[in-house]
Amino acid sequence: MTTSSLPARPDFSGDVAAHYAEYRRGYPPAAFEALARVFGLDAHPGIGDLALDLGCGTGQLALPLAAHVRTVVGMDPEPDMLGRARAAADRAGVRNVLWMLGTDADVPALADLLPGDRPLGVTVIGNALHWMRPDALFAALHPRTRPGGGVAVIANGAPVWAQDTDWSRALRGALEEHFGRPITASCGTDDAEREGYADALKSAGFTDVQEEVIAYEDALTPDQLLGTVYSAIPAPSLPPLAERPAFAARLNAALPAPPTAAGYPEHVRISLLTGRIPG
């Protein structure tokens, strides 16, 4: 992936960060158990592993991961995201996460601060990878990762507008009508993008590149569905507060009635794409 092929990094500040913190789905315990197994993570407070959560958002990966390592560095370019992540950590009593403002371009400088005998045990990257430069990022991480450690690219299910359900197709149509353009973003979850990430890991020297899938069934209430949509719209494009009731009404009118009492069903497919350093 070339630099010129990347879209401009969006603004996920303010209300977008608030909706992200409240409505973005988390990750099941099985995902963290898999990370601990694949990379042999050590949570010893003195000599355990350091983890990096790049593009950490409001902490959906960093906070649960903290139980499996000595320290997590959560890095994100949006101060509002980091502020909400820090508040969530305080509420949960999680004390071994360091929150830092930065992007994938800052990883070499961050990693160069690590002691030579304490390199990264794991770097986790969620759907935010599609805003980054995977080739350069993986190349920078390789020499700064301990033997047996590595990188995990984690896709937390398809976006709500890109699922194979009637309600998702109706939502996508309503969003396309509102914005006046096709809505095609998969946020790094489609097969072609995952294959590209796997190739980039191999090219950077990571081995044992493999995918593990964790699938489960869930449902979104109408409020959760709307909040998830708001969390994905960059701040400049988010409808102003005064216009949101009308925007919500248009989406609700386009959607079929929830087919179950729980809401709109989702088949959530979490993909853990991992690559390791031999050793």
Domain tally, the chain: 1
Q: Would strands 71-76 and 97-101 be described as parallel, antiparallel, or unpaired? A: parallel
Q: Is residue 212 in a domain?
A: yes
pTM of the predicted model as reported, rounded to 2 decimal places = 0.91
Residue 1's pLDDT band (cuts 50, 70, 90):
very low
Residue 140 lies in a domain: yes
Per-residue pLDDT, 5: 44
Return d(Cα 41, Cα 47) in angstroms, integer: 11
Match 């109706």 to its residue by tokens: 170
CATH, residue 81: 3.40.50.150
pLDDT exceeds 50 at position 72: yes
pLDDT tens for 121-170 read 999 999 889 889 999 999 999 999 999 999 999 999 889 999 999 999 99
Tens-place pLDDT, residues 185-233: 777 778 888 999 999 999 999 999 999 999 999 999 999 999 999 998 8
CA 186/CA 134 separation, integer angstroms:
16
Residue 235 within any structural domain of the chain = no
Collect all residues with Cβ–Cβ distance below 8 Å to 65 and sequence separation of at least 6: 32, 35, 51, 53, 72, 124
Give the pLDDT score at 4. Answer: 36
- Cα–Cα distance measured from residue 237 to residue 153, given in angstroms and rounded to the nearest whole number: 28
Check whether 3 has a pLDDT greater than 70: no
Flag whether 166 is in a domain.
Answer: no
Mean pLDDT of 70-91: 96
Cα–Cα distance measured from residue 60 to residue 178, given in angstroms and rounded to the nearest whole number: 29
Mean pLDDT of the chain: 91
| Domain presence at residue 256 | no
The CB-based long-range contact list for 105-111 (8 Å cut-off, 24+ gap) reads: 105/133, 106/75, 107/52, 107/54, 107/75, 107/137, 107/140, 107/141, 108/140, 108/144, 110/52, 110/73, 110/75, 111/140, 111/141, 111/144
Q: Which domain covers residue 91, as residue numbers? A: 3-159+186-219+262-276
E strand residue ranges, 104-192: 120-125, 145-156
Q: Are 134 and 195 in contact (CB under 8 A)?
A: no
| 31 domain residue, yes or no | yes
Does residue 6 carry a pLDDT above 50?
A: no
Q: Is the Cβ–Cβ distance between 57 and 126 less than 8 Å?
A: yes
- The whole-number pLDDT of residue 57 equals 95
Q: What distance in Å separates the CA atoms of residue 269 and residue 108, rounded to the nearest whole number?
A: 32
Better-predicted residue by pLDDT, 127 or 81: 81
Band of the pLDDT at 9, cuts 50, 70, 90? low
Whether residue 81 is contained in a domain is answered as: yes
